[in-house]
Structure 1
Amino acid sequence: MTVKNNSLTVLPAGHTLHHNGVFSKDGQWIVFDGRNDDTKIGETSTIGIVNVGTGEEKILYRTQNQTIYGPGVGAVSFSPVTDKVIFIHGLADANQEKPYAMSRRTGVGIDISQPNHPFYYDARDINAPYTPGSLRGGTHSHGWSGDGKLISFTYNDELIDPNLRVVGVMVPFSKGVNVESGQGNNDGIMFSAIVTNVVRSPRPGSDEINKAFDECWVGENGYTQASGQHVPYAIAFQGNVLNNEGKQITEVFIVDIDPGKILVDSLAVGKSGERPQVPKGIHQRRITFSKKGLSDTRHWLRSSPDGKFIYALAKDQDELNQLAQIDVSTGDMTLLTSNPFSIDYSFNLNKEGTKIAYVAQNSVYIFDLITGVSTKLLNQEKGKIIGAPSFSPRDPLLVFNQYIKDRNGKDILQIRKVSLPN
């Protein structure tokens, strides 16, 4: 099946889609950042939206005093329930000595009805004693819970072990988190906490991890444990363990999120000389015990709407990336595809949880979870397709990133759309 591939954006600037949350709740707008290269967040100055039907583009936010060293913005996603977005924002004091970095950024928001009026989601406080609910590093790859109330993120601390990546969560906090003013500090409207434990040197054969990353929320409304208890909020994440032979592999972990336990543990913010701690009563658990682990190709986990399954990439016997399904209750992992080629990037499910879109061989494929069949949507594509395709929440529509040559022959990253058959 070949369908018409239409260009949605045409302006001579980059249009990078995040791996999730690119559509507004009504499916009418798509949010993007101005990158033309995935690695250039620190040099990027704009966040914009484009209308799905008309192609009209609007700039929501533009940084001030942007240089090649920062502050930089990128990786933007819509709330599933409001017309607000969240994106990475580098620190205002970025310069050649202290440029944009994974430990020097925060989550900033915009209401699309009020462009250029930014606000901070997470508070940042680098002066001990630290304010409960604040962080002192950089948040990244923000993801909304199904009800739009909580936000997950990955985090690197600026002061202690900046290379140790962990997963955290922001929860609603009516008072907001207010910190003392100072360079590198900012208030935040939500209360932040780290919810994963990592160590520098995991013990071989143990469940200890040296990195927690590339997570997703489990279910649109949580999941049900084998005991029958419903868990309203949980995050599945990738964790690097060492097997019995000391080889590093990536497994899937889950952490149940209790906002009440997070809000009452004021000591979890940590002391001077230590990283933020996991609040009491919050515990991660490993759910997969596989021989090879997940693929080392960068991708984010995805969940079925009912929270029963987690989806990932894993390599087959020929070392090709295939879609994998993980049972949340048992941890059993099953390869869903058996393509004679490798899947290239992350992927996304549709809202109903019946189809998965992915990129391989410079084309977009749809895998039907009901029939178990993959369908190629595009043929003879000239420009390189990158990243994770995203389904509209309302219409039979898919959008993705593709490099298109401008009049001068330069590759410009644009947004393309594909109308899907009903």
Structure 2
Amino acid sequence: MKQITFAPRNHQLTNTRTWSADSQWLAFDVRPSGASFTGETIERVNVKTGEVEVIYRASNGAHVGVVTVHPTDDKYVFIHGPQHPDAHWQYDFHHRQGVISAHGQLSNLDAMDITAPFTPGALRGGSHVHVYSPDGQFVSFTYNDHVLHERDPKLDLRNVGVAAPFGPVTPAGHHPREYAGTHWSVLISCTTPAPQPGSDEINRAYEEGWVGNSRLAFIGDTLSASGDKVPELFIVDLPKDEQGWKQAGETPLQGTADRMPAPPAGVMQRRLTFTHDSRYPGLVNVPRHWVRSNPQATQIAFLMRDDNGVVQLWLIAPEGGEPRQLTHNASDIQSAFNWHPAGHSLGFVLEDRIATCDAVSGAVTFLTSDHGNPPSGDAVVYSPDGHTIAWMEETDGFRQLWVTETGR
């Protein structure tokens, strides 16, 4: 294994799509780990030479972070906090946006309109953790709503959305914090503040992952019959064309003063897991992980406890059915995970080492040993060519980036 960053500061990888398409560069931000959102640059490091380049530098009091990379082009999408923050408008879940840096030019991904009448295709709050679809046409994100937050923070439920390449979207600009965006942005999940216990209703949608280019899976928090939170797996089939993305259902795409923006007509979330009666119900939130599909879009992986209470990898088909326990480890998987680009294995942290498991048998192979400190559980990410895997590890008091060869 090889350390590739050395500066006395933190280097933060996002949980997926952190590599350039040629597998030569790793993109990162410089947020202090476990601290406030205060990074000012998006950067990349060459894994062969150690050369570091600044992709974007924020100004006017703004901060940036959580960068991911386009699958084929030299494009980077990341969170941008507000410029000129003041007492009334500071960085928060509902006060942030996605931006794209491409060939030295910066553009807004999502538009925002917080003044009624709201604008279809624009958001009313903050988008977060932006990830390109496998073909690079769409961008998924999680979302929080400013309009409902101002009305009652309990109504500001986290949701999942998609930015589709059918913009631009230009709000009227009645508020100084409104802006235009290059993409048409909508929510694709549906939440309610008070889910019916024992039902498929959810009050939070999060940690989404692409299933091919036309489906999106995510975790949704249901309530058991006794009222306990049980995170379950959901999936959504996305519209097939521009008209489908722009066609509203019974509720306006842009939402109302007292309702969250709504999915396009016919976009209905479908529950895939039903674990309320299991010994250890629900997908786990610790370690934090994002559901991930194999490149063939035939299996969705997620983390859940087995009957012994151990966190294992599980697989389920996008069409549903009984989940299959993939790993049978004696101790918990300790991190978010990703699939090898060929789809034959998955990488994660186990026993404080970087490990992979076979996607059919679940057999585990350890790629590293003798770490100075345990690898971070935030991100374990394969290069697009599958030859290298990257992670973060604390070295001399700072998070540094490390890589090792996969042998496959």
Provide TM-score, normalisation by structure 1.
0.89
In structure 2, distance between residues paired with 1:97 and 1:301: 35
* Matched ranges for 1:250-399 at <5 A: 250-258=231-239, 259=241, 260-265=243-248, 267-290=252-275, 291=278, 292-297=281-286, 298-386=288-376, 387-399=378-390
Q: For residues 397 and 246 of structure 1, what CA distance do their matches in structure 2 show?
A: 44
* Residues in 1 aligned to 2:31 and 2:350: alpha-carbon distance in whole angstroms: 22
Q: Does 1:203 align with 2:196?
A: yes
Q: Deviations over 1:227-260 (max 9, x none)?
A: xxxxxx0101111111222221111111111043
**Matched residue, 1:413:** 399
Asked whether the 8 Å contact 2:299–2:315 carries over to 1, the reply is yes
CA distance in 1, matches of 2:386, 2:191: 41
Instruction: Provide the alpha-carbon RMSD of the alignment.
Output: 1.7
Corresponding letter in the other structure for 1:397: T
Contact 2:328–2:362 (Cα < 8 Å) also in 1 = no
Gaps of 5+ in 1: 222-232, 406-410
- 2:232 aligned counterpart, secondary structure: strand
Letter in 2 for 1:205: G
Name the SS for the 2:267 alignment partner: coil
Offset of 1:395 from its aligned partner? 4.7
Residue 101 (structure 1) aligns with: 92
SS in 2 for 1:159: helix
Distance 1:137 1:302, change over 3 A: same
Deviation of 1:93 (Å):
3.6
**Aligned counterparts of 1:377 and 1:36: Cα–Cα separation in 2:** 27
Structure 1 CA distance for aligned equivalents of residues 8 and 56 of structure 2: 18
Q: Is 1:160 aligned to residue 155 of structure 2?
A: no
Residues 261 and 282 in structure 1, CA contact (< 8 A), matched pair in contact too: no
Listed as ranges, the matches of 1:24-173 within 5 Å are: 24-41=20-37, 43-66=38-61, 71-111=62-102, 113-114=103-104, 117-161=105-149, 162=153, 163-173=156-166
Question: In the alignment, what sits opposite 1:402?
Answer: 393
Give the direction of change, closer, same or farther, for the CA distance of 1:355–1:211 in structure 2 (3 Å limit): same
**Deviation of 1:38 (Å):** 4.2
Which amino acid is 2:42 matched to?
I
Residue 340 of structure 1: CA displacement?
1.4
Change beyond 3 A, Cα 1:394–1:367: same
Q: C-alpha distance in 2, partners of 1:303/1:138?
A: 26
Counterpart position of 1:229: none
Amino acid at match of 1:363: R
How far has the Cα of 1:78 moved from its partner? 0.3
Q: Secondary structure at the match of 1:132?
A: coil
In 2, are the aligned partners of 1:33 and 1:73 still within 8 Å (CA)? yes
Which has more strand, going by share of residues? 1
Partner Cα distance (1:39, 1:238) in 2: 25
Share of identical aligned residues, percent? Answer: 34
Counterparts of 2:360 and 2:261, CA distance in 1: 43
Structure 2: how far apart are the matches of 1:395 and 1:346? 17
SS in 1 for 2:327: coil
Is this contact kept in 2: 1:359–1:388, CA < 8 A?
Answer: no
Normalising by the residue count of structure 2, what TM-score does the alignment of the two structures yield? 0.92
- Superposed CA offset, 1:1-40 (max 9, x none): xxxx111112222210000110111212111001231443
- Aligned equivalents of 1:286 and 1:149: distance in 2? 26
* Number of residue pairs matched by the alignment: 392
CA distance in 2, matches of 1:87, 1:288: 31
In 2, Cα distance between equivalents of 1:93 and 1:360 = 43
SS state of the match for residue 262, structure 1?
Answer: helix
> By how many angstroms is 1:376 displaced?
1.6
Distance in 2 between residues matched to 1:366 and 1:263, nearest whole Å = 41
Q: Deviations over 1:314-354 (max 9, x none)?
A: 01223221111112223311221121111122101111111
Structure 1 range deviating more: 282-291 or 148-157: 282-291
CA distance in 1: counterparts of 2:322 and 2:31, whole angstroms: 38
Note the C-alpha offset of 1:370: 3.6
Tell me which residue corresponds to 2:210.
Answer: 217
1:95 is displaced (CA, Å) by 3.4
